[in-house]
Amino acid sequence: MISFSTDILKKQDIYLEGEEPPAFLEVEDSEMISFKDNIHYKLHASMVSGGVLVKGGAGTSYDGVCGRCLENFKGEFENSDICLFYEELFGAELDVTEDVRAALVVEIPINCICRDNCSGLCHICGNNLNKNKCNCQEADNVDSPWSKLNNLKL
């Protein structure tokens, strides 16, 4: 739970920094992505006219299975632009947990790939093209109607 007393806030800004367990996300693990690491957050709360402003960031890492090459990999996601506003509450404990969760959950990657330029698997032999080249592509080109064009020297 991430919360603080608004009474203190009247006297000074509050800096919140800490960790929450992966269950904080309330997102079930899937075949493609699982959460095993703590969520880190760093927030700054201050009084502004009419209310309380909470800004900062939160992030964590995940264990993914690449959608292209099927390898396991470690990825990260974060929201470094969290900005929440609450109307003034007097003498209350302000719980920002749900809003921080919502701001972070939207950053969970939808396309789970190990890296932007992942070459994936050869669709013929299943070889991981990030690790080794195979001859399938070349053989493929020979049969391609464009292979003559590829060899054309201009």
* Of 24, 27, 53, residue with least CA distance to 40: 24
Stretch of residues binding Zn ion (CB under 5 A), selected from 52-60, 93-101, 121-129, 138-146: 121-129
* Of 85, 81, 83, residue with least CA distance to 107: 81
Stretch of residues binding Zn ion (CB under 5 A), selected from 23-31, 52-60, 61-69, 79-87: 61-69
CB 147 within 8 A of CB 141: yes
Nearest approach, Cβ of residue 110 and Zn ion (Å): 15
- Is residue 66 part of the contact set for Zn ion (CB under 5 A)? yes
- Is residue 127 part of the contact set for Zn ion (CB under 5 A)? yes
- Is residue 136 part of the contact set for Zn ion (CB under 5 A)? yes
* Of 98, 88, 99, residue with least CA distance to 7: 88
- Is residue 125 part of the contact set for Zn ion (CB under 5 A)? yes
Nearest approach, Cβ of residue 18 and Zn ion (Å): 33
CA angle 30, 34, 35 (to 5 degrees): 140
Strands 39-48 and 14-20: antiparallel
Binding interface with Zn ion (CB under 5 A)? 66, 68-69, 114, 118, 122, 124-125, 127, 134, 136
